[in-house]
Structure 1
Amino acid sequence: MPRVLLTEDDDDLAFALTRLLNQRGYDVAWAATAAQARATAAKADHDLVVMDLGLPDEDGHDLLRGLLAGDPTIPVLVLTARDEAASAIKAIRLGATDYLTKPVESETLFSSLAAALEQSTLRRSLEAMRRQSMEGEGIVGSAPAFQRAMRALGQAAGAAHAPVLITGETGTGKELAARFVHRASPRSGGPFVVLNAACLPKELVESELFGHEAGAFTGAKAGRRGLFELASGGTLFLDEIGELPLDLQPKLLRVIEGHPFRRVGGEREIRADVRIVAATHRELAAFVEAGQFRQDLYFRLKVLGIHLPPLRERVEDIPLLVECFLSKFRETMGTAPPACSGEAMAALARYRWPGNIRELRNVIERAIILTPGPAIRIEDLPPEIAGPPAASARPAPQESLEDILQGRMVEAWENSGRNLSQTARTLGVTRVTLRSWLRKAGAYPVKD
């Protein structure tokens, strides 16, 4: 049964709406003021909000902003009088899903509710898919650059046929991002097939992609299907696309554009329903300028171009990533220290991470093996990380990393109306971790 938070100060209208919604199978929680709405939202999760902007104790736009800060995925339908068009437009810009004019016609109301619930279900499914497919390997974070990339990946997932080009430095999680696009797309029931173009001799790449017939070349004793055929109905991930042989690129372009292909040594034309997701750490535009990559293929691949930021541009996410890796290693190794010391965390924040998230994961695994105590120490880190920062490195921030993290968590907690579950979901941490940090900051009682 969908749960609705109704915020309306007109008792008669609230009673009528509640009764109407109950008759259609909605569970309604009514709040007459903004304060009551915040308290109700903090106590329980809701599937959508229907709210009036003219509230007696607070401007409705401020309440709207606060509710969406606590749960950005929740749809909010705004109730407005006929002369409040400007106010309704402002609400839409703040993130409201729709606005309804009083008096509300029942069919208009339920049509808007159905559309909002469908949108909310899609958003939350994408978020759950993101966590399932990426969190286990540490692809989590709240840094703005990372969140922009995640939103772009979610949007790309819905375009089941358009090519996607994921760029980013080595170790930023490009294959995991590609897997997310596949799992969150309508093709999720099909195969996800991977080819790393840098791992094969150039003369074998064509056979690997398109297959070959028996006798096509020395050693081809039997025919073999290529990856395009194996990936039919699903996604073909072409990693390190910049290493693809130049003479093979026209054939790849034709297949991406929907043309049939032939196996090496074959005459029969084959069609495959495949979505291409490509990735590279190279600057493909520079390759095009140098004549090492076809311009037409480059433009076709980057229809949906998404860049994953390096870890040095996401320093605030390092504590979340460390906690994620510690949790992961506790599952796989049976044991791992429950925390990382403040001194070690500060050293991790100072380091520039040329290997990005992959390097951080390896460093945490090494530290887990070496540490004898309940927390990772600075001496458990590699010398290049534990030592003093190089003169050319970015100066350390005046605030400690712990202060920054505590401040972000307290701010997110306050913005959510002090809802522990919503804040933990927003930050990508467990409730236990969030509660511990809030207590360290003096913002959470010692006992629940």
Structure 2
Amino acid sequence: MPRVLLTEDDDDLAFALTRLLSQHDYEVERAATAGQARALAAKALHDLVVMDLGLPDEDGHDLLRGLLAQDPTTPVLVLTGRDEAASAIKALRLGAADYLTKPVGADTLLSSLSAALEQSTLRRSLEAMRRQSMEGEGIVGSAPAFRRAMRELTQAAAAVHTPVLITGETGTGKELAARFVHRASPRKDGPFVVVNAACLPKELVESELFGHEAGSFTGAKTAHRGLFELASRGTLFLDEIGELPLDLQPKLLRVLEGHPFRRVGGEREIRADVRIVAATHRELSAFVDAGRFREDLYFRLKVLGIHLPPLRERVADIPLLVACFLTKFRESMGTAPSGCSAEVMAALTRYRWPGNVRELRNVIERAIILTPRSEIQLTDLPPEIAGYTSAPVAPAPQESLEDTLRSRTVEAWEASGRNLSQTARNLGVTRVTLRSWLRKTGVYPVKD
């Protein structure tokens, strides 16, 4: 239920507005003065503010400026008797979401409130993006184990309320897989919020996830929205879920089962329309046996359990991954080698890759920085990887990097039904890059 702070000094009008909004599922908290409004805004968070400019203790424009400075993600609607262009222009320039004059029709007011809520969702999506830990780069591959995982991720994306548990070794791309689930789901227009449970101090995990009210603990001077609220209508990615404190796991389980939650120090119940995607490189069943993870939460999370294979089990994807990394670095750095020598590719495909795809990406970035040549050579690789060429190389001619890229591009293009956007997403590249690749195949005349 959206929470509205109504700042109106006219008792009769405030009563009528409260009744109207309550009938349309808004929770209303009323302030009669600017001072009361500031106090209520500091004490608790609201989804919307509806305020008059003609207040008895302060100019409404000053209150508007103060409220937006305190919480810029909460839209403020001005509802006033001042039918003056100068006043309206000033309010809108300060950041008011709308300027309505009294008397106002119920339909007009409700329509403005609805539009402001949409604006609020957008602003909080931007705030959520600001608090994310990293941006995804896309995921590519055609090895059988990888294809199976991608098929399961695609199927999971459609189940918009069911939690997903992604497992796999460090560096296999669990966050990228979570982003894929979000972008392939009906929630794709909502926020994608990332939190790593292993990176948060234990005493702050609950506040970060569920928020807190002002004064709920030392240092909590103002109210704070948690990541569950910031992820509303979107996806919350809980990385390293095995590190979540045991005492918080029952609260997470209740939210997963559709129950409301309260901010730390709060009494108001909040419901968040959020899809949970969790990930871990741990063996959670072992954590359950050791008493470090709740069994009921484990089984709730693993309804849709998806395992990402390590890179050593998808060696055939290494040439395509290398090609994609070279393209990405060329786009970001402005220059990069066109490919790798046969010896380099042999070493890359024989190495065991304990750090998986992340380690491969780092090795390619290092080689690009170090090499002055148009092709990556063995001397550009770390010694522990370059040494893997000591194994005998098969005498059969090796497919070049360009040939590998061409064949994988054609395969992905056909698999998507020749859908440019879908193919670009599957390969983790831009549409411009994909068009360039397709033209180079000589098979498809792709128009701009």
Distance (whole Å) between structure 1 residues aligned to residue 269 and residue 359 of structure 2: 44
Q: Is contact 2:242-2:282 (8 Å) kept?
A: yes
Q: Distance in 2 between matches of 1:136 and 1:202?
A: 27
The DSSP-based 3-state class of the residue aligned with 1:166 is: strand
The answer on whether the counterparts of 2:190 and 2:233 sit within 8 Å (CA) in structure 1 is: yes
Could you give the per-residue CA deviations for residues 77-127 of structure 1, whole angstroms, max 9, x where no partner exists?
xxxxxxxxxxxxxxxxxxxxxxxxxxxxxxxxxxxxxxxxxxxxxxxxxxx
CA contact (8 A) 2:339 2:401 kept: no
Distance apart, 1:403 and its partner CA: 4.6
**Partner in structure 1 of residue 246 of structure 2:** 246
CA distance in 2, matches of 1:256, 1:400: 54
Residue 211 of structure 1 pairs with residue 211 of structure 2 = yes
For 1:316 and 1:231, locate their aligned partners in 2 and report how far apart those are by CA, in whole Å.
Answer: 37
Map 1:296-311 onto structure 2 (within 5 A). 296-311=296-311
TM-score (norm 2): 0.60
Residue identity matched to 2:214 = A
Whole-angstrom CA distance in 2 between matches of 1:151 and 1:193: 23
CA contact (8 A) 2:351 2:388 kept: no
User: Greater relative contact order (Cα 8 A, min sep 6): structure 1 or 2?
Assistant: 1
Residue in 2 aligned with 1:324? 324
Contact conserved, 1:213 with 1:224, CA < 8 A, in 2?
yes
Distance 2:319 2:150 in 1: 19
Post-superposition offset of 1:409: 8.4
Q: Which residue identity does 1:282 align to in structure 2?
A: R
Is the partner of 1:195 in helix, strand or coil?
strand
Counterpart of 2:191 in structure 1: which amino acid?
P
State the match for 2:398 in structure 1: 402
Indicate the residue corresponding to 2:381 in structure 1: 381
- After TM superposition, the structure 1 = structure 2 runs for residues 403-422 of structure 1, keeping only pairs within 5 Å, are 403=399
Gap change, CA 1:344 and 1:408, over 3 Å in 2: closer
SS in structure 2 opposite 1:232?
coil
Matched, 1:315 2:311: no
State the SS of the aligned residue for 2:328: helix
Change (3 A) 1:422 1:209: closer
Query: Equivalent residue of 1:137, what SS?
Result: coil
Structure-1 separation of matches of 2:403 and 2:335 = 30
Opposite residue 178 of structure 2, the aligned amino acid is: A
Report the Cα offset of residue 373 of structure 1: 1.2
Q: Secondary structure at the match of 1:179?
A: helix
Matched length? 299
* Counterpart position of 2:290: 290
- Please show how residues 28-427 of structure 1 align to structure 2 within 5 Å: 137=137, 139-388=139-388, 398=394, 402-403=398-399
- C-alpha displacement of 1:191: 1.0
Structure 2: runs of 5+ lacking an equivalent: 1-134, 443-448
Contact kept? 2:196, 2:239, Cα under 8 Å: yes
From the superposition, tell whether residues 265 and 322 of structure 1 become closer, same or farther in structure 2 (CA, over 3 Å): same
Task: Determine the structure 2 residue equivalent to 1:102.
Answer: none
Percent identical across equivalent pairs? Answer: 75
Q: Deviation digits for residues 159-216 of structure 1, max 9, x if unmatched?
A: 1100000011111111111111111111111111111000011111001011111111
Alpha-carbon contact 1:138-1:325 (below 8 Å) kept = no
AA aligned to 1:206 is E
The alpha-carbon distance between structure 1 residues 397 and 142, as it changes in their structure 2 partners (threshold 3 A), is farther
User: 1:232–1:274: 8 Å Cα contact kept in structure 2?
Assistant: yes
Distance 1:413 1:331 in 2: 18
Calculate the aligned-residue CA RMSD, in Å.
3.4
The CA distance in 2 between the partners of 1:359 and 1:305, in whole Å, is 25
In 2, the alpha carbon distance for the partners of 1:380 and 1:138 equals 25
